[in-house]
Structure 1
Amino acid sequence: MRTVPPSPEDDPGTRAGVVLALRALGLGDALTGVPALRGLRRAFPGAHLVLAGPSGPGGLLRRRGVVDDVLPVDGVAAIAEDAVVAAAHEHPAVLPPGWPVVAAVNLHGRGPQSALALRGLLDERGADGARLLGHACPAAGLDGPAWSDDVAEVERWASLVRATTGAPCGPEDLRLDAAAWPTPLAPERTAPGPAEAARPGRTVVLHPGAASGSRRWPASCWTALAAALVAGGRDVVLTGSAAEADVTAEVAVRARAVVARSGPTSCVVVDTAGRCDLEQLAGLLAGARALVCGDTGVAHLATALATPSVLLFGPTSPAAWGPAVDHHLHPVLWPAPSAAYRGDPHGAAVDPVLARTTVDDVLGALAALPARRAA
């Protein structure tokens, strides 16, 4: 249930106003911004903290108490300068008319579009002395810390909040409570045999998808990995969006065929692509033995839940987007020729560095993970 702002007449939190943070990006971006959001909570303890961003990731953070409400804004491709004001008009229950915005915080980018979008909100809804916080952006009249490309994503936004508010925050704030998530497994998209549930604690979650081809490990590798895990006594659950269901279905069918040729087994390969919402995905990860995925949002969810993971990087250095805490739980496979290597993160073909990672590499990294629970 959404947190409803209290009455301005009788609640001291209301008198402290609204703090709105813009981060209108995807799941991984939302999760890497959690330390900054928690810093804002500490900097403005009486304020109503609103995240302007997509309702899916934002809703997950709202239900976990990271923010009080979500103003639906989608800026994954680009953000319009009137996007925040338009969303405020469209969703008056989130920012009721007359409620003062005391701070607008740009956790979205360096500007100018994102900074101007927040400047527009303050022009219309800002309290006296309202603050626009973000990296320096002269086009929006924003004086803040200089942007640097050479900083990890988590630290980029946490350091911004520390510098502009003085509130403490850092990588240790990434974690979400792993308890009490919804039932994780949904029915399979196709059911070639008896529907069997994977068993928590002995399940390895495989997430083959990524936003671009250059960050997707080949389907043949995922198939071989799934079959090897089942042969080793693990259940396998494949996850992905509805748009990735064809890939997960291919991996599931081929892996089951390999397993069937090896003889009877009690282990299963379950395909949940397009059938798990973010809460169910989190529930699945919270109980899993481990996750294997590429450089994508699910990796950050595993970090937040302290679920062991093996991360397959290619065009992008893990220095920017790799795990910021619990490095012993999240080994990164990145066989780049040097630390300076950079590929095309938006390319159509698999990155050559990612292609060098083998199934045996992944199996070895999984075997070396610290024990989480009895399998």
Structure 2
Amino acid sequence: MILVLRALGVGDLATAVPALRGLRAAFPGETLSLAAPAWLTPLISAIGGIDRTVAAAELEPLTGAPANPQIAVNLHGSGPESHRRLQALHPAKLWAFASRPAGHADGPGWHDDEHEVQRWCRLIRYYGVPCDPEDLDLDVPPADVPRGVTIIHPGAKSPARRWPPERFASVARRLSSAGHRVLITGSAAEHELCVRVSDAAGFDRSAVARTDLGELAALVAGARLLVSGDTGIAHLATAYRTPSVVLFGPVSPRRWGPPPDRPWHRAIWHGTRSERGDLPGPVHPALLAVNEDEVLTAADEVCRAAAAQ
């Protein structure tokens, strides 16, 4: 039994896909279990190779996980809290970054400025498991969703990472005028924000898409374009090679951005240093520095690059 902890969100899971696939290939005869939130199940299924999902919230004990796994792999964080959650299961081996407070010395050091995909690949390589950081693609969930739409996703987990809704509305309106069929997406908690953007763009309420995670993934997989902030849906665009323009604020795209060698993804950032992504309060100044014209120019460029592939 190999037990992996990654009890976070959509983008967090998507960036761990290469490491998970490396583990699957290295231990083909072992049961590979993933401790993650149950609502991520459609995305976990899209990875392939995960034998069992253990429902796990971010900070809670792993009460449903099997005891004494052969290897417990911490793809969740630097420790010590996440280390201790796995240590409580008494694994034969713990693969994790070194953490003195958790009493775990057998592991590589943590680098704050490392890209999230490279971070987890480096961890499992330390323990002798090959990992391909380009192995980011996901299967498309079976869902009846429209194809060829342009997705505007105005939400993000923290206020600092949310570009002003009136700017999203302006971009949506201008893309629609250029012939794009625009849909506005967001979580259930972001529905009012999506309606606000749709109304400001002059759309009717049918432009606000209500989807579950599987439907959202399928929508992105078949989309013409995604415009979003630095949030989970941007990683779905990477996974499905969908043209995307991603707007960054407090966090540098060097840490969470799409692969820089893909011309059909564009990260826009006017920051000078990377900060915490969960900053409270107003929109980050680096994000406010992004204007509608440069977003639209980038959108045209990524669509052209995708068409040329």
TM-score range with shorter-chain normalisation?
over 0.9
Quote the Cα distance in structure 1 between the aligned partners of 2:28 and 2:195.
Answer: 47
Structure-2 separation of matches of 1:341 and 1:31: 21
**Residue 73 in structure 1 maps to residue 56 in structure 2:** yes
Aligned to 1:254: 200
| Counterpart check, 1:24 vs 2:7 | yes
Give identity over the alignment, percent: 44
The root-mean-square deviation of aligned C-alpha atoms, in Å, is: 2.1
Is the contact made by 1:104 and 1:133 (CA closer than 8 Å) also made in structure 2? yes
Partner of 2:89 in structure 1? 121
The correspondence for 2:96, drawn from 134, 140, 145, is 134
Cα pair distance change 1:106/1:247, threshold 3 Å: same
* Equivalences for residues 260-299 of structure 1 within 5 A: 270-272=207-209, 275-299=210-234
State the SS of the aligned residue for 1:293.
Answer: strand
Distance, in Å, in 1 between the alignment partners of 2:253 and 2:241 is: 18
Q: Which residue of 2 aligns with 1:5?
A: none
Aligned residues: 306
Verify the 8 A CA contact 1:208 1:240 in the aligned structure 2: yes
CA-CA distance at 1:288 after TM superposition = 0.7
Equivalence for 1:145: 108
Shift of 1:177: 3.0
Structure 2: any 5+ residue segments left out of the alignment? none
Query: Residues 296 and 344 of structure 1: is their aligned pair in 2 closer, same or farther, counting only changes over 3 Å?
Result: closer
Query: How far is 1:371 from its partner?
Result: 5.0
Instruction: Name the counterpart of 1:367.
Output: 300
Q: 2:181 aligns with which of 231, 235, 248?
A: 235
Counterpart CA distance in 1 for 2:293 and 2:266 is 14
1:159 aligns with 2:126: no
1:177-196 pair list within 5 angstroms: 177-178=139-140, 181-184=142-145
After superposition, the C-alpha distances for 1:109-147 in whole angstroms (9 at most, x for unaligned) are 11111111111112xxx4xxx211101123333211111
| Equivalent position amino acid for 1:107 in 2 | L
Question: TM-score, normalising length from structure 1?
Answer: 0.77
Q: How high is the TM-score relative to the length of structure 2?
A: 0.92
In structure 1, the residue corresponding to 2:242 is in which secondary structure?
A: coil
Q: 2:137 aligned to 175, 178, 181, which one?
A: 175
Compared CA separation, residues 307 and 66, structure 1 to 2 (3 A): farther
For the 8 Å contact 2:17–2:47, the answer to whether it is kept is no
Among 16, 35, 41, the alignment partner of 1:33 is 16
Correspondent of 1:50 among 33, 45, 64: 33
Q: Which of residues 297, 300, 309 in structure 1 aligns to 2:235?
A: 300
- Which residue of the partner structure matches residue 102 of structure 1? 70
Aligned counterpart, 1:62:
45
Tell which deviates more after alignment, 55-64 or 148-157.
55-64
CA distance in 1, matches of 2:276, 2:19: 28
Cα 1:175–1:63 change in 2 (3 A) is closer
State the alpha-carbon separation in 1 of the partners of residues 266 and 55 from structure 2.
34
- 1:214 and 2:160 are equivalent in the alignment: yes
Contact 1:303–1:325 (Cα < 8 Å) also in 2: no
Alignment of 1:351-366 (within 5 A): 351-366=284-299
For residues 224 and 5 of structure 2, what CA distance do their matches in structure 1 show? 34
Q: Which one has the largest radius of gyration?
A: 1
Q: Distance in 2 between matches of 1:239 and 1:231?
A: 19
Report the alpha carbon displacement of residue 252 of structure 1 after superposing the two structures with TM. Answer: 1.1
Residue 112 of structure 1 corresponds to: 80
Task: Specify the code of the residue in structure 1 equivalent to 2:111.
Answer: S
**Cα gap change, 1:175 to 1:244, in 2 (>3 Å):** same
